[in-house]
Structure 1
């Protein structure tokens, strides 16, 4: 039987070891249209995140001060950092994946595949070898709300890999309705990808799929890893012990590496994404529609911030 204590729903006793039961969910910033893509910069002690419909990216310092980082942002959505610490961003408006260089200039990493424009890159992760993986659903071209309405040119809604040496772009997974958030297991042998197609078709299951990969990123096998019972999975992160922390309509769902749901962090707004951060790396920053929330946990990211 599920036990709800404060902002926690404990489905499995193992969840207690991952949370600070005295910690409380804090709303640390608000007044946004739709927050997404939080990414922590440990070297600067600040959080960057997207406010998609407002066409801007924001920065927040530890004292809660919020300012605009980039506007217009080309309707930026998901963000991450590469192995050199540079910001990598999915942009709905330009239908591209970009990298912000140290001098502030922007390099386009990918905006087309096989001579046709990408749909609207949504979320992105970078492997330790420098390979850039991103999802390409059509959310940014469905209307003028989070991008520019347009007809898709790609024949699939794919998961792509950009080779760090050759720059070649390959569609590695092509059987999603709407691929969304993605994250690697600590050993990078498993890629987790969220299926968010139920946003427009309730017959699409709200699941996270797990793909076993070889060293070249090719899929060896795949399975349904977990099902989200409230809303749909969007952004997600994996901690150093391999637990998967996924966004959902009612908050953050935490899954054991075997797929068992351990519990939830309940949030009063629909959650789109999250990331680990804070001075010691043990806080979760939550992108919850109009607000950014924060809570301390007993877990840290599988990747350095």
Structure 2
């Protein structure tokens, strides 16, 4: 794909996952740190965060970008639950919330063991209705993406919210800075990024994988893939089990066995991505100041 500088092929399989004649498009520029894209197919729109500007933005194919919510409480990651409601991680309030159909906001989690959460970062919903989120300290390190504060939790954890009781429990507590997370298409594997190298070059810059049982217990933790440019932040999986991760130089695509298949190069540092569009074959990419998109030959998994 020498004539198409957006693509860097590391394995021949990557050629069947991208479309060489589909070019990277910049849909919007004007953010300070774009994050948390989530596609609403029933509304034909994408929501995404502009964290430092305290905005949740809406992109529509015909209408472009408008403000969905401001102030946003420094919202970072977003997803949808199985009823189609928006679930968000708020740095400013250090909580996970759900926006109801009528627009009201329900708090799902803001503390654990009687102490405030750090700054919930990214979130995903399993098909059983359980909500899983990461809780690094990025939102309390300064006043730029939240409010500077000392952490109250002894570790930076991955949590699960029970769909029946609403109880929040730690499922993993040995991360430096847990960040993006997503399930495999069959939901038997949970992938979680550790981006602690953002502040310590000796720290992890990898994505870990865990086996998940029906009760939501994790086991067999192992390193799935290392990021060779920058750190892993948000990521998504396609229906074949390939993992598409953010990185400093763009999107890195890994096969289910952890092999780096290729990269989609992006001019700005990528924070997150999601599959969207009517056929779930369009990658929406949040990268520093901008929202980008590119059509691919893969279909996104886990869309409610």
More displaced 10-residue stretch of structure 1: 61-70 or 3-12: 3-12
* Number of the residue aligned with 2:154: 155
Q: Classify the secondary structure of the residue corresponding to 2:155.
A: coil
* Number of the residue aligned with 1:79: 78
2:204 equivalent to 1:222: no
The separation in 1 between residues aligned to 2:160 and 2:206, in whole angstroms, is 21
Instruction: State how 1:197-208 maps to structure 2 within 5 Å.
Output: 197-208=196-207
* Number of the residue aligned with 2:285: 286
Q: Classify the secondary structure of the residue corresponding to 2:241.
A: coil
The separation in 2 between residues aligned to 1:88 and 1:219, in whole angstroms, is 23
1:16 to 1:160, Cα distance in 2 relative to 1, 3 A: same
Preserved CA contact (<8 Å) 1:96 1:121: yes
Preserved CA contact (<8 Å) 1:29 1:64: no
* Number of the residue aligned with 1:69: 68
* Number of the residue aligned with 1:120: 119
Preserved CA contact (<8 Å) 2:31 2:290: yes
* Number of the residue aligned with 1:34: 33
Preserved CA contact (<8 Å) 2:176 2:204: no
* Number of the residue aligned with 2:89: 90
The separation in 2 between residues aligned to 1:300 and 1:146, in whole angstroms, is 32
Q: Residues 227-252 of structure 1: CA distance to partner in whole angstroms, max 9, x if unpaired?
A: 00000000000111100000000000
Count of equivalent residues: 304
2:272 equivalent to 1:273: yes
* Number of the residue aligned with 1:181: 180
Q: Which runs of 5+ in 2 are unaligned?
A: none
Q: Classify the secondary structure of the residue corresponding to 1:158.
A: strand
Q: Classify the secondary structure of the residue corresponding to 1:175.
A: strand
* Number of the residue aligned with 1:43: 42
Q: Classify the secondary structure of the residue corresponding to 1:107.
A: strand
2:16 equivalent to 1:17: yes
TM-score by length of 1: 0.98
The separation in 2 between residues aligned to 1:81 and 1:261, in whole angstroms, is 28
Q: What displacement does 1:300 show?
A: 1.4
Preserved CA contact (<8 Å) 1:213 1:221: no
Following TM superposition, the consecutive aligned residue runs of length 4 or more in structure 1 with deviations greater than 6 angstroms are none
Q: What displacement does 1:3 show?
A: 6.6
The separation in 1 between residues aligned to 2:257 and 2:122, in whole angstroms, is 24
Preserved CA contact (<8 Å) 1:3 1:11: no
Q: What displacement does 1:220 show?
A: 1.9
Q: Residues 121-144 of structure 1: CA distance to partner in whole angstroms, max 9, x if unpaired?
A: 000000000000000000000110
The separation in 1 between residues aligned to 2:216 and 2:195, in whole angstroms, is 23
The separation in 2 between residues aligned to 1:3 and 1:133, in whole angstroms, is 40
